[in-house]
Amino acid sequence: MKSTMSETKQKKLSMIPYLWSYKWHYLLGVIVLLLVDMSSLYIPQYTGDIIDGLTKGTFGFEGVKPILLKILLAGLAMMLGRFGWRFFIIGASRGIEYKMRNDLFQHLETLSARFYNSHKTGDLMAHFTNDLQAIRMAVGMAVITTFDAVVMTVMVLVKMIVYVDLKLTLLAFIPLTLVAFGCYYYGIEQKKRQTRRQEAFSYLSDKAQESLAGIRVLKAFVQEEADFKSFEDASKNNMEKNLAVAKLQAVFGALLDMVTGLSLLLTLVFGGKMVLNGQVSIGQFVAFNSYIGMLVWPMIACGDCVNTFSQAAAAFHRVAAIFREVPDIVDADTSLQADCELHLEGDIRLNDLTFTYPDGELPVLKNINLHIRPGEMLGILGRTGSGKSSLADLLLRVYDCEKGMLLLDGKPIDEIPLCILHRDMAYVPQDNFLFSDTLEENIAFGLEERIQEHPELRDSIHQAARDACIHDNIMDFPENYLTLVGERGVTLSGGQKQRSSIARALLKDSAVLILDDSLSAVDTDTEEQILENLMRLRKGKTTIVIAHRISTLQQADHIAVLTEGELTEYGTHDELVALGGFYAHINEKQQLEQELQEE
């Protein structure tokens, strides 16, 4: 059911399903709101009746009591009703915001690397904050305000005509009709300014997130002042866009006040003459002025509604654009999802593999032919930019290559269900990512079970940490495995982060393990111990080790050397050394460096 809903939202985001799920809340809220408006409508009339009764002497204080009781009951109904419509309608808007935020996050998790390559984190965060808040206000308070403004205007006008006078009502209402025309043009301009305002906020959010995430680099290169200037510019742009919105609101608000004042002035002048001529009683005149005051709220609400809906329209457009994004990497046949009980054996074959990134022009991998049998360890060596990590991305289906170029267990990789591929492959990337959580949770991240529900997993976690040679370091921390690491594991050293990531991958015990330059930050003795553990633990399982150090690769069954995306050398360590090519040159160079260090 979830996947079906997600697929629908990828094509088009519609508010109708969200609103429909809270239809009873809105219906009850509108009914309660109508009762509140009706109750408030009678208070000016009752007040006018009291004034007329006391002025004409038709009844004394005893006659006032029943009317006062009616006013009290009307006030009580308004108090309870206002709680009621807030509970139903505002509650519904919060529920819609909650559902939309969850659906947006769920949809973002389905999108492929291409999307995140072109969208910044700060901009996406703005969708979760400002944009969803604007939509919530539109389906909450703006709905109340719109209904209240329309219904209240109609009811008050009817009451003014019936209880007071038709001509005086028309005379007072004519200036207020100007507001309708003003709202139309105000809405067009406000939508433009709100769009620019939200874009400025997104850029500011992204700038703040990026600067704080990279604060150590900023300090290391003494770029605090330059970065502050860049942030100041973004903040100034955000301020200017907000001021543009505020200026428009201020002008429109002042025009509303002017129109309202004109209506009151006409009422006082012509209504006062009608009182003097005996056409309208004093009580009716007082009630009429109260009704004019009640019409002011719908006029002001008109501007607020246009402002809120303009913000929501701009926000909805931005959020809908994300929902229209579709993942590049999907199961070719949705029926494959039912085959998740199958398991990979780890047989990998590359047939003339050529790959160009979606936004690239030149291929990063060219005509590569390889066969990695189940249980073998393949080492991959190459200069920076030779395509090593690109090959790992293809194996993990971060990107797709042409059909038939990459086979897993004899099948094209796109015919392997993603649930199997992700379950049976473990990966340690170059940029080791640790979450702001405990070391224990970070190592156990790839498990389906949670530690809190299965405490017996701790023994396996500790063993994986021993195999990755990080256990002793962890036990030296004050909280041991419950030590909290900072954002992206910033409190750990590079070697500790690498070994924690290796422990996470080993704990998963997958059919295929890919290590992408994952031992570069550890010393040679620790590296040797980890490799010995790998050889022992990975018997019968396929392992791919990408590295720059020969010492990391020499125990592999086969080693592939990539040069500018092409497979230029292939064989065992001894075969490649005897070949006298690039691999032999790097081997000799690194041996000399090691000898110099030992001296």
pLDDT for residue 4 is more than 50: no
Beta bridge partners of 348: 372, 408
Lowest mean pLDDT among 32-36, 253-257, 333-337: 333-337
Mean pLDDT of the 452-476 span? 81
Mean pLDDT of the 422-437 span? 82
Q: What CATH number is given for 339-424+511-599 in this structure?
A: 3.40.50.300
- Whether the CB-CB separation of 543 and 395 falls below 8 Å is answered with no
What amino acid occupies position 418?
A: L
* pLDDT classification of 333: cutoffs 50, 70, 90: low
User: Which pairs from 553-558 meet CB under 8 Å and 24+ separation?
Assistant: 553/379, 553/380, 553/381, 554/379, 555/377, 555/531, 556/377, 556/378, 556/379, 557/376, 557/377, 557/378, 558/372, 558/376, 558/377, 558/378, 558/379
Helix (H, G, I), strand (E, B) or coil at 545: strand
pLDDT of residue 24: 92
Contacts of 71 (CB under 8 A, 6+ apart): 43, 46, 47
Could you tell me which residue, 37 or 476, shows the higher pLDDT? Answer: 476
**CA atoms of 185 and 181, how far apart (whole Å):** 7
Lowest mean pLDDT among 250-254, 421-425, 566-570: 250-254
**CA atoms of 182 and 72, how far apart (whole Å):** 38
User: In Å, how far are 348, 355, 392, 404, 418 from 410, measured between CA atoms?
Assistant: 8, 20, 18, 10, 16
Mean pLDDT of the 349-364 span? 86
pLDDT of residue 1: 33
> How many Å is the Cα radius of gyration of the chain?
35
Strand-by-strand arrangement of the 348-355 sheet:
365-372, 348-355, 406-408, 411-412
User: In Å, how far are 448, 454, 510 from 457, measured between CA atoms?
Assistant: 11, 6, 17
**CA atoms of 226 and 300, how far apart (whole Å):** 45
Report for 67-71, 299-303, 370-374: range of highest mean pLDDT: 370-374
Could you tell me which residue, 328 or 24, shows the higher pLDDT? Answer: 24
- Whether the CB-CB separation of 150 and 231 falls below 8 Å is answered with no
* CATH 3.40.50.300 in the chain, residue ranges: 339-424+511-599, 432-509
pLDDT of residue 538: 84
Summarize pLDDT for 136-156 with one digit per residue, the tens: 888 888 888 787 777 777 777
**CA atoms of 378 and 543, how far apart (whole Å):** 6
pLDDT of residue 184: 67
* CATH 1.20.1560.10 in the chain, residue ranges: 88-323
Mean pLDDT of the 492-507 span? 83
Scan for tokens 């965060």, then name that residue: 125
What amino acid occupies position 309?
A: F
pLDDT of residue 296: 66
Mean pLDDT of the 244-269 span? 76
Q: What is the dihedral of CA 214, 216, 218, 224, to 10 degrees?
A: 110
Helix (H, G, I), strand (E, B) or coil at 354: strand
Summarize pLDDT for 117-134 with one digit per residue, the tens: 777 777 787 778 778 888
Summarize pLDDT for 320-332 with one digit per residue, the tens: 888 888 887 777 7
Summarize pLDDT for 74-97 with one digit per residue, the tens: 888 888 888 888 888 888 989 988
Mean pLDDT of the 365-392 span? 88
pLDDT for residue 2 is more than 50: no
- Whether the CB-CB separation of 368 and 412 falls below 8 Å is answered with no
What fold is seen in the domain 432-509? Rossmann fold (3.40.50)
Say how many Å lie between the first and final Cα of the chain, rounded: 66
The gap from C-alpha 530 to its chain's centroid, in whole angstroms, comes to 38
pLDDT of residue 325: 82
pLDDT of residue 493: 76
**CA atoms of 393 and 159, how far apart (whole Å):** 72
Tokens of 434: 């640790």
User: Which pairs from 420-425 meet CB under 8 Å and 24+ separation?
Assistant: 420/339, 420/340, 420/342, 420/343, 420/344, 421/344, 421/396, 421/397, 423/340, 423/510, 424/343, 424/344, 424/510, 424/511, 424/512, 425/344, 425/395, 425/396, 425/510, 425/511, 425/512, 425/513, 425/514
**CA atoms of 189 and 247, how far apart (whole Å):** 12
pLDDT for residue 171 is more than 60: yes
Beta bridge partners of 513: 426, 543
Exposure string (b/e) for 208-236, b if CB count within 10 Å is 16 or more?
ebbbeeeeeebeeeeeeeebeeeeeebbe
* pLDDT classification of 57: cutoffs 50, 70, 90: low
* pLDDT classification of 518: cutoffs 50, 70, 90: confident
* pLDDT classification of 56: cutoffs 50, 70, 90: low
pLDDT of residue 143: 82
Q: Whole-model pTM above 0.85?
A: no
**CA atoms of 343 and 324, how far apart (whole Å):** 33
What amino acid occupies position 194?
A: Q
- Whether the CB-CB separation of 81 and 32 falls below 8 Å is answered with yes
Q: How many CA atoms lie within 13 A of 178 on its CB side?
A: 14
Q: What is the dihedral of CA 99, 100, 106, 108, to 10 degrees?
A: -170
Beta bridge partners of 382: 562
pLDDT for residue 564 is more than 80: yes
Q: What CATH number is given for 88-323 in this structure?
A: 1.20.1560.10
Could you tell me which residue, 454 or 474, shows the higher pLDDT? Answer: 474
Report for 16-30, 277-291, 511-525: range of highest mean pLDDT: 16-30
Average pLDDT along the chain = 79
